[in-house]
Structures are given as C-alpha cells and as structure tokens.
Amino acid sequence: MKNFPILILLFYCLFIQGQTRMEKQIDSLLDKSFTEFSEVQLIPSLRTANEALKKSDTYNYSKGKTLSNIYIAKVLAETGGYNEALGYLKKAEREPYFTSVIDTQVEVYRLRGRTYGLLNMNKLAIQEFNKQLKFSQKIKDPYRKDMSVYWAHENLSEVFTQLRQYDSTWVHLQQQEDILKKLKEEQVFFDLSGTYAKKGQMYTIQKEYVKAQEYLDKSLFLLEKYNVPYLYFALRKYGDLEAARGNQELAISYYRKALQNAKELDATDAVQQLYSVLGDYFMKNNLDPREANSYLYQYQKLTDSLDVANKQVVEQALSQILDQKEHENNMKSRKYVYLIVLAVLVLLIVALFWYRWHIKNKKLIYKNKKTLTEMSQATVVLERKIEENKFNDLITLAKCNNPEFLTLFSELYPDFIQKLKVIDPKVRSSELTFCAMAYLNFSAKDIATYTYVTLGAVEMRRSRLRKKYSIPSDIDFNNWMRRDY
C-alpha cells in the first residue's frame, strides 16, 4: 500500500514516454506524406496519411488527426473526390490543434476554396479565399505572412478571371505585385514572373497590346535571368497576344515553342492544353487542316490517357477511403469496449480497496455490485440514444444535401454500401447518395427537394439505375434497395 503512489507515478512516466515516441512516429509519417504529395505521388501520400490518421485516432493525437485529415483532403481534391475532401476538412476543423495554429486554418480555407472552385461554386470559393486572406494577416513570421497573403490574392484573382469580373481581377493582381516587390527578388522571382504574365494576359483581353507586351517581356526576363526552364506559361501568353494582334505566324511560333518547352519538362497538363490551343487556332483560322487534325488527335489521345490514369488513381483513392471508414468504425466499437473495460477496472480497484479496509461490511459490497449493474444498464440506454441521434442526424444531413450525408450513412449501414459495391464496383458517389436516399424510403419528390433538382431529373436517374441494375418495372425501386441481396 505504501508503494502504490510510486507505482502509479512509474506507470504514468512510462505512458508519457510511449505517447511521445508514438507522436514522433506520426509526425514522421506526416512529413513523408507531405513529401510524397509534393512529388505528385498521390496514392502513396494518401496511404501514408491514412496510416498517420489511424495511429492518431488510437492515441488521440490532435495534431496528427488535424494534419492527416488535411493531407487526405488535398489528395482527394486532386483526384476528384470533392465531397469527400470537404468532409475531411470538416473533421480537421473539429480538432483543438486546428484552432491553435493559424497556418493550419489558412491551409484549410485555401483547400476548401479550391475545392469549391473545382465544383464551380465560385461564390463559396470567394468566401473561403477571403477567410484565407483574413487569417493570413495573423501569421507572425513576416515572410510567411506576406507569401500567404500573396497566395490568397492569387486565388481570388483566378476566380474573378473565371467569372470575367476583370475589375476585381485587377485589384488582386495589383496586390500580388505590390507584395512581391517588397520582398527580395531572388526569393520570389518565379511568383513575380507569373504575376507579370497574368497582367500581360489581362492587358491582351483589354486590347492594350503595348502594355501586354511590356509585362510579358518582364515575365520572360525574370525567368531567363534566374535560368528557370519553365517558360511555357509565358510563351503561351505571348502566343495569345500575337493571335489577338492578328499575327498568325508569330502566334503559332510562340505556341509551338511553349509546346516544346512543356514536353521537355514533362508538364503533361500544359502539353494537353497546348495541343488543344494549337488545334483550335488552326481550325478557327482555316489553316492547314492536316496539322490542325494532328494537334487535335494528339490532344484527344493524351486526354484519353490521362482519363485512364486518373480513373485508376480515383479507384485507389476510394479504396483507401473505404479502408479508413472501416478503421473509424472499428475505432468507435473499440472505444465502447475500452470504456466498459475501464469502468470495470475502476470498480474492481475501488472494490479491492474497499474490501481491504471494510472486509466485514457486506452491505457495502452488495451496494457496489448493484451500482455496477445499474451502470451497465445505463450504458445500454446511452448507446441506444446515440444510435437514435445518429439516425436523426442522417435525415437532417439528407434534407440539407450535406456532403457528410454519405459518410454518416456508410457508418450506419455499411452492409448496404458494401453489397452495392459488389454489384457495381464502379458505382459513383452521386449514385451511392441517390441509392442511400432510396434505402431510407425517400420519395422521388423528397429527393428532388433535398438535392435541388427537378422531379424529372430524379425520375430519369431512377430509370437509369433500374436499367443498370436490371430492376423489373413491377418492383418498387425503394423496396428493391431495401431487400436482401
């Protein structure tokens, strides 16, 4: 009994040491995932981030959970899993670490804004980029603060350019230039070159060709001054300028130089875009049809190749996500077990000390047994309430068309999702969501209301799914979804 406090202290020290070692392992995994993403190894990056998230969940490491969710969201945004990406960003925001680190908050707002932009939800994208701009001002390190503010303005200028709100584009472009000019040129020359090229692009759109030439020359000068090989963006803008001036041969020359540079640098996306630019330019200006068709053929060939590669990446990404969902479900089950075991252990320890000090007091022992029974019953009641609340939350998410609906549905009805994937391994997230609503016995009118589409669109999708899954017309669609496969 006298040594008991010392034993407790020893166990606590050992626990702290073990926790510290595990946190270092998780931090190492996060660094690895970040490096893999930087090297465009998307699936390895996702796999490593998932491993870090599992360990972080096990040890309740808030930093690990925050950054793992962010890194997973980054990969999903790159591979087209936009709704899933938004869900992981939401999980990151719930962690205490998120609210304590400004850089993390800025990154979440940037990623969410970019994801909304890819979904053509430009108003929401602008809101998130404005949050990125606001919180960037709170970064203490001067250089990181300036660059974070610069990136926020860059994101906003891109969105406003897509919306053709050029007055707003000019405001943010000028902010970009002003920020970069305050910094050392050798630190920001590439960003400054890009800003000059975009201003040249804007002057071309406004038919101010002299100023466009001036800024494109500035952009190219910086790239050549610092021996940067990435010239294709500036060369393409030169091509756009000469095309606007009506100088066909010069425009084609710049486009070809840009294409050659992109090929040398293995910049696949840029090569794809330039094939399209050259093909369209030849067709539009009635130039050599054979060469035009050659460019367009190369564009389509590369597009098909990228589509196949992207499809494989998406499938692997979804596989990783399902693995993570299964892990999360297992973790929740384990937590209930751990809580019960912990409660039992605490009661046993209390009973042991109580027995040693009050061995003759049988009434008190009986009282402890009764308390244990009551706690077990309370735990069962609590679990039932939790399940009921989750179901109510699921209905609410469906009615709000919230992207987290499918995540919660997968948690509550994993067998349905797994069985549907056995029937159709390539089923899309949008189809899963539709089938999930049917499983919950929502009417076509309800689905149309909750997903903001017409009743006709819902009936059309239901008809396509009937055909896809060979559902007879005399069987109710919702009943088929709820049947045993």
- Residue ranges of the domains in the chain? 184-306, 391-482
Say what the pLDDT of residue 281 is.
93
Q: How far lies 232's CA from each of 59, 194, 240, 247, 262, in Å?
A: 47, 11, 12, 19, 6
Task: Give the pLDDT mean for 447-464.
Answer: 91
Task: Give the pLDDT mean for 435-448.
Answer: 91
Percent of the chain with pLDDT over 90: 54
Residues 6+ away with beta carbon under 8 Å from 304: none
Task: Give the pLDDT mean for 59-77.
Answer: 92
For the chain, the C-alpha Rg in angstroms (whole number) is 29
Task: Give the pLDDT mean for 5-15.
Answer: 47
Task: Kindly tell me if the per-residue pLDDT of 11 is higher than 50.
Answer: no
Say what the pLDDT of residue 83 is.
86
Q: What is the DSSP letter of 406?
A: H
Cα gap 409→418, rounded to integer Å:
12
Angle made by CA atoms 184, 189, 193, in degrees to the nearest 5: 140
Task: Give the pLDDT mean for 444-466.
Answer: 91
Q: In 328-348, which positions are buried (b, 16+ CB within 10 angstroms) versus exposed (e)?
A: beeeeeeeeeeeeeeeeeebe
- List pLDDT tens digits, range 345-396: 777 777 676 767 778 666 665 665 665 556 556 555 555 666 677 888 889 9
Task: Kindly tell me if the per-residue pLDDT of 325 is higher than 80.
Answer: no
Nearest one of 424, 389, 423, 426 to 408, comparing CA atoms: 389
Task: Kindly tell me if the per-residue pLDDT of 14 is higher than 50.
Answer: no
- List pLDDT tens digits, range 222-272: 999 999 999 999 999 999 999 999 999 999 999 999 999 999 988 888 898
In which residue are the tokens 């090229």 written?
A: 197
The pair of structure tokens assigned to 300 is: 């389509």
- List pLDDT tens digits, range 164-173: 999 999 999 9
Per CATH, the number for 184-306 is 1.25.40.10
Task: Kindly tell me if the per-residue pLDDT of 15 is higher than 50.
Answer: no
- List pLDDT tens digits, range 267-286: 888 898 999 999 999 999 99
Nearest one of 253, 240, 181 to 213, comparing CA atoms: 240
Quote the longest CA-to-CA distance of the chain: 105
Task: Kindly tell me if the per-residue pLDDT of 408 is higher than 60.
Answer: yes
Least confident of 41-45, 121-125, 192-196: 41-45
Residue 476: Cβ within 10 Å count: 12
pTM: 0.59
Backbone angles phi, psi at 94, to 5 degrees: -80, -15
Three-state DSSP class for residue 454: coil
Percent of the chain with pLDDT over 70: 81
Say what the pLDDT of residue 119 is.
87
In which residue are the tokens 């999702």 written?
A: 417
Average of per-residue pLDDT values in the chain: 84
Task: Give the pLDDT mean for 29-36.
Answer: 92
Are 81 and 314 in contact by the 8 Å Cβ rule? The answer is yes
The pair of structure tokens assigned to 203 is: 């002057």
Least confident of 132-141, 178-187, 327-336, 423-432: 327-336
Q: Which residue has the higher pLDDT, 53 or 389?
A: 53
